[in-house]
Amino acid sequence: MPCALQAQGISYRVRVGGSDRTFHVHAEFPNGAGRDTLLLALPAWSPGSYEIMDYARYVHTFSAAAPDGRALPWSKADKDTWRILTRGASRVSVDFETDPDSVALELSRIEPGFAWFNGTNLFLYPVGQGFDFPADVELDVPPGWRIATGLAPAEGSHYRASSYHDLVDAPVFLGRFAYDSVVVDGRPVRLAIHPDSALTPVVWDTVGRALRLIASAEDRIMGGPVDSGYTVLVYAPAGELDWAGGLEHHNSQFDVIAMDFFASDRRRGILGDFTLPLLAHEFFHLWNVKRIRPAAMWPYEYAHAQYTPLLWWSEGVTDYYADVALARSGLWTPEQFVDGLSADVQQVEDAAEIVSVEDASVDTWIHPTYVDEAQYYYPKGALLGLMLDIGIRRATADRHCLDDVMRALLSDYWRQGRGFTTGDLLDLIRPWYGGVDDFYRRFIRGREPLPYDSVLPLGGIAVERHEERVAQVGVAMGKEEAGGVEVTEVVPGSLADEAGLAPDDVLLKVGDVSASSPLWPIAFRSRYDGADGSVVPVTYRHAGRLVVRSATLHVRVARSIALRPDPAAAPEARAVFEGIAGARP
Ligand SMILES: [Zn+2]
């Protein structure tokens, strides 16, 4: 916004801790320019979470007043924006309540003795005045409540931010949680976790060590920290949670992960499989996306979607570097590193069609149905990062690598106060890897199958293709029943469907294999995997009645690709692997 007026400092107060689950928000806006009308808006989305959320939907009891307490008239200008008639007031204060009350990375919630919030949910901005205004936030909480946030502390319970961007990019924990820290490369890396029972001394031993190793490995990749302190906020509820994830911020990350999934204290503080990659991924965003950012999101705007074709780089290559950091730090063995890449391959190959990561990146805002997940560009982007890394290392006899590209993006774009485009990225890579334009045209912008077999062996990674024939019954199974198993779902067009099975029936026998043992699917497959098209009797109980019907067997051919480190690879290839993973294959 080149012509924007610089708004003067804006102050906010957030009060929590009453008997309700409501955030009470007060904000004061200078009206030095004497405008008749002040437009105030809440963001439609939170950077990093590419989805229109319209936080204004949770707001109620909105009011506006002049400094003398006079109420000022207001109306809604659009779904996210309030229009206030200032009546010449030099300052306008606003009060409202909001209660998103959801366990979600971009929302906010109050529980007994604990709360967290995302600034995008609470902090109004004056429309048309830019985002570079300083802000002061007072956090009004009950006595004894702790506060953890990436915001800079000021007097008492006040915090400050030098711009609206930084203000809303620092989630806040309030109340009761465990808090500890390690020092890495001269700055504190803190962990705040709720509930505090999630952080036993044994778990902290493991998590603290992991944070130290991840931060130091990623600092080394990027040439050092770009923050003066980093905060990991973890909400780890006991009990069930059917998802886990994290969201990156300016100098912090907010992760939601069920307590047992995060770490188990029972076996010497073992971290869950998901925990290390999650911490490493969100931490790497400190550089990649928070600072090295696609030009289309520079600066962030909050009223509408910002489309970029580059999320394969911002998310997928971040995933690649999370794995690389875990390997180089020794937290993962070379085998675990390659297993992670294998899982990426499987996710890409399991997609129903080949999608360009640039299209998937733009489409993420609409959660498209053409791939299972809008997040297709994570695994595919990670593999593209690996292939570009191998390409650069082979073309320069290991004198250069993808780390150099990352560091060049940091110095040539972020340090110059700007974002980068795909053209900029290709320009940086081209001098080291002349094949990058062809690679880009075919596999990044284009939809050709990824060239695992021709590229990965150059990096000391063997590609094994497997084909498996699997005889299909076509049912989902519930509990065991006398002599068989309860059917909960029937796949249309399957053997079970043709035999007339329905949910709640009890499947007793398929062909000559009885369904009475929990291991019967294994017996069934070893008997029928080679019998595509043969007709077999199916025996089941329907409404207490015994039914025997014949149906046709279908055998599905399952193809999979597995990667493994190849100790027998040529010396150049093994050197590339060692450069990437920090250890010989
Ligand atoms: Zn991410």
Per-residue pLDDT tens digits for 531-567: 999 999 999 999 999 999 999 999 999 889 999 999 9
Residues 492-515 have a mean pLDDT of: 96
Residues 245-262 have a mean pLDDT of: 96
CA 285 / ligand 1 centre spacing (Å): 7
Residues 159-163 have a mean pLDDT of: 97
CA 278 / ligand 1 centre spacing (Å): 9
Of the pLDDT bands very low, low, confident and very high (cuts 50, 70, 90), residue 1 is: very low
Higher pLDDT, 368 or 173: 173
CA 292 / ligand 1 centre spacing (Å): 13
Q: CA-CA distance, 40 to 151, in Å (whole number)? A: 22
Peptide bond into 73 cis (omega under 30): no
pLDDT at site 448:
97
CA 46 / ligand 1 centre spacing (Å): 13
Percentage of residues in the chain having pLDDT higher than 90: 89
Look up residue 75 and give its amino acid.
S
Q: Is the Cβ–Cβ distance between 423 and 433 less than 8 Å?
A: no
Percentage of residues in the chain having pLDDT higher than 70: 97
Q: Is the Cβ–Cβ distance between 292 and 406 less than 8 Å?
A: yes
Q: Does the predicted TM-score (pTM) go above 0.75? A: yes
Peptide bond into 112 cis (omega under 30): no
CA 357 / ligand 1 centre spacing (Å): 15
CA 480 / ligand 1 centre spacing (Å): 41
Q: Is the Cβ–Cβ distance between 122 and 170 less than 8 Å?
A: no
- Those residues with Cβ within 8 angstroms of residue 57's Cβ, 6 or more apart along the chain or in another chain: 79
CA 280 / ligand 1 centre spacing (Å): 10
CA 531 / ligand 1 centre spacing (Å): 45
pLDDT at site 105:
97
Q: Cα–Cα–Cα angle for 28, 32, 35, nearest 5°?
A: 95
Q: Which of 285, 282, 280 is nearest to 213 (CA)?
A: 280
Of the pLDDT bands very low, low, confident and very high (cuts 50, 70, 90), residue 369 is: confident
Of the pLDDT bands very low, low, confident and very high (cuts 50, 70, 90), residue 143 is: very high
**Residue 102: strand, helix, or coil:** coil
Alpha helices in 18-109 (DSSP H): none
Res 171 pLDDT > 50: yes
Q: Is the Cβ–Cβ distance between 78 and 135 less than 8 Å?
A: no
Q: Is the Cβ–Cβ distance between 171 and 149 less than 8 Å?
A: yes
Q: Which of 165, 346, 307, 319 is nearest to 245 (CA)?
A: 319
Of the pLDDT bands very low, low, confident and very high (cuts 50, 70, 90), residue 3 is: very low
Q: CA-CA distance, 125 to 133, in Å (whole number)? A: 10
Of the pLDDT bands very low, low, confident and very high (cuts 50, 70, 90), residue 4 is: very low
pLDDT digits (tens, 9 = 90+) for 179-193: 999 999 999 999 999
Question: What is the CA 183 to chain-centroid distance, rounded?
Answer: 25
CA 248 / ligand 1 centre spacing (Å): 7
CA 495 / ligand 1 centre spacing (Å): 42
CA 288 / ligand 1 centre spacing (Å): 9
pLDDT at site 372:
66
CA 370 / ligand 1 centre spacing (Å): 21
Q: Quote the crossing angle between the two packed helices 275-284 and 318-328, to the nearest 10°.
A: 120
Position of tokens 């924006």?
81
pLDDT at site 559:
87
CA 344 / ligand 1 centre spacing (Å): 15
CA 21 / ligand 1 centre spacing (Å): 29
pLDDT at site 32:
82
pLDDT at site 374:
53
Residues 330-347 have a mean pLDDT of: 96
CA 178 / ligand 1 centre spacing (Å): 25
pLDDT digits (tens, 9 = 90+) for 412-462: 999 999 999 999 999 999 999 999 999 999 999 999 999 999 999 999 999
Residues 127-146 have a mean pLDDT of: 96
- State the first-to-last Cα distance of the chain, in angstroms, to the nearest integer: 51
CA 281 / ligand 1 centre spacing (Å): 6
Of the pLDDT bands very low, low, confident and very high (cuts 50, 70, 90), residue 382 is: very high
CA 382 / ligand 1 centre spacing (Å): 11
CA 423 / ligand 1 centre spacing (Å): 22
CA 321 / ligand 1 centre spacing (Å): 11
CA 231 / ligand 1 centre spacing (Å): 16
Res 2 pLDDT > 50: no
CA 314 / ligand 1 centre spacing (Å): 7
Exposed, middle or buried by CB within 10 Å (0-12, 13-18, 19+), for 251? buried
What torsion do the CA atoms of 566, 571, 576, 581 make, to the nearest 10 degrees? Answer: 50
Mean pLDDT of the chain: 94
Residues 82-106 have a mean pLDDT of: 96
Residues 264-271 have a mean pLDDT of: 70
Res 112 pLDDT > 50: yes
Residues 125-143 have a mean pLDDT of: 96
358: which strand partners?
A: none
What torsion do the CA atoms of 500, 501, 502, 503 make, to the nearest 10 degrees? Answer: -170
Q: CA-CA distance, 569 to 458, in Å (whole number)? A: 8
CA 48 / ligand 1 centre spacing (Å): 7
CA 126 / ligand 1 centre spacing (Å): 29
CA 161 / ligand 1 centre spacing (Å): 23
Phi, psi of 455 (to 5 degrees): -100, -50
CA 283 / ligand 1 centre spacing (Å): 9
CA 377 / ligand 1 centre spacing (Å): 11
Q: Is the Cβ–Cβ distance between 207 and 177 less than 8 Å?
A: no
CA 175 / ligand 1 centre spacing (Å): 27
CA 311 / ligand 1 centre spacing (Å): 9
Res 509 pLDDT > 60: yes
Q: Cα–Cα–Cα angle for 554, 560, 561, nearest 5°?
A: 165
pLDDT digits (tens, 9 = 90+) for 384-398: 999 999 999 999 999
15: which strand partners?
A: 24, 140
